[in-house]
Structure 1
């Protein structure tokens, strides 16, 4: 078992708890909201790489898609399986890593790769591998941890100027929950990796643009404030400069071969 898979197994229940927190629910909602317009009609086949405890996969299955969940954490997939059973949904589970995954005798219409690049050794090879699993003109949704966000969080939320200065040139950080290193990216790097693998970007969004940089939590328990926040987030998500200062970035791309 690798250090990464062990860390994910050890924190599987904590991760599931995080997905139910206001910050976790907001991230999941925004990723889903930005992906939806680019999904093919229901009954298409979708692979969720790094599916975790299945939050996105459950939403896709409820919408009528055939969903495959891939993750290196057996415990996270077990939680996802329990959730699917509780909703009486059929999903396909693959407990392996990207390099050892043998896909079924099909190509996928859509692949979701959300925050997986933070934990792989070769992001370029990962994207090129996923291109081989997609149908021509298939959709890839990539969510990455934005390297600019750590600088802003240290400076704006913590007034920690020294850490912010050091983070200006950093390309990795320790994952808060899992306690392992994760890689940080900017949108320009991801866009180049996609272009090298014959993908054409069709949309780019910032995710959690505002909430990570202050300590106000009025939106956690106030529905009106949450709705106002979502209105702001979705309006700003594709506008410069806001789309590139979110905690995460999300790029939707189409395979052009």
Structure 2
């Protein structure tokens, strides 16, 4: 496989891995903008280079008024600015350097209709405090989109790799880590995540597993659009099957939508 083919394969695999997540967020934005009769104000904590923020802004000013990205990395925020400019949405995408600890000082309370926190709760010092700050940033009836690393997927992956001791540690450790050299500070299971969100005063409305199979399938198996679409369809069927709700917990990530009452 040539270098260009490898790059295309990586991009395609990334698209498969994020398809279900993007569909859920996009549907929520569309529904809430219609319900409110105006475009949404969005906060993306830890949004980095704008992989979510820019596509959200690209949905158009009728759906998304603006997106504020808070991230600790100045390099990431610079890349965000370039990406937004290339997409022509720089007027509605704003970057601010900070993190969960400084969020309350950076932004007004009750300001946002949608707060996205994807891949952040695993690495913050205090997940409970972070969720409370995010809840305070939500307007009444505002929604939180929360994406976290799932515990059971790591148990499964370590076992398939023959690392049975690490798999057992990930299953039983309070933080979902497989050992001292695990690069991730924590992972979550669904019950734990629900409890954290509800303790912040938010009501869980929906959840689904993300990347149940995509991380396990070799890129050579999804070379074509037809193959990628088939994998996405299978993932959606598994994650949302009414007879097997537990399958969603096998996702490499858990995506939860919650509302401020």
- State the TM-score, normalizing by the size of structure 1: 0.84
Q: Does 1:138 align with 2:142?
A: yes
Counterparts of 2:121 and 2:128, CA distance in 1 = 9
8 Å CA contact 2:169, 2:177 repeated in 1: no
The structure that has the greater radius of gyration is 2
- Residue 249 of structure 1: aligned partner: 254
- Residue 149 of structure 1: aligned partner: 153
How far 1:104 sits from its partner (Å)? 4.6
Listed one character per residue, the Cα deviations across residues 59-108 of structure 1 (whole Å, up to 9, x for unaligned) are: 11011211111111111111111110111112111111121121157610
Counterparts of 2:214 and 2:247, CA distance in 1 = 13
Greater shift, 108-117 or 98-107, is seen at: 98-107
User: Out of 209, 212, 224, which is 2:212 matched to?
Assistant: 209
Residues 173 and 23 (structure 1 numbering): CA distance in 2 closer, same or farther, change over 3 Å?
A: farther
Residues 109 and 225 (structure 1 numbering): CA distance in 2 closer, same or farther, change over 3 Å?
A: same
Q: Does 1:56 align with 2:52?
A: yes
- Residue 228 of structure 2: aligned partner: 226
Counterparts of 1:105 and 1:152, CA distance in 2 = 40
8 Å CA contact 2:146, 2:255 repeated in 1: yes
8 Å CA contact 2:68, 2:95 repeated in 1: yes
Counterparts of 2:100 and 2:24, CA distance in 1 = 24
Counterparts of 1:197 and 1:104, CA distance in 2 = 18
- State the TM-score, normalizing by the size of structure 2: 0.82
Listed one character per residue, the Cα deviations across residues 34-73 of structure 1 (whole Å, up to 9, x for unaligned) are: 1222222162100011102101101110112111111111
What is the total number of aligned residue pairs between the two structures?
233
Counterparts of 1:21 and 1:216, CA distance in 2 = 10
Counterparts of 1:248 and 1:192, CA distance in 2 = 17
User: Out of 4, 20, 25, which is 2:15 matched to?
Assistant: 25
Counterparts of 1:234 and 1:253, CA distance in 2 = 20
- Residue 118 of structure 2: aligned partner: 114
Listed one character per residue, the Cα deviations across residues 104-153 of structure 1 (whole Å, up to 9, x for unaligned) are: 57610000000110110111111111111100110001001001111100
Counterparts of 1:194 and 1:142, CA distance in 2 = 9
Residues 62 and 108 (structure 1 numbering): CA distance in 2 closer, same or farther, change over 3 Å?
A: same
- Residue 93 of structure 1: aligned partner: 95
- CA-based RMSD: 2.2
- Residue 186 of structure 1: aligned partner: 189
- Residue 74 of structure 2: aligned partner: 74
Gaps of 5+ in 1: 1-16
Listed one character per residue, the Cα deviations across residues 178-236 of structure 1 (whole Å, up to 9, x for unaligned) are: x85431111111101111112111111100001223546411x2211100001111122
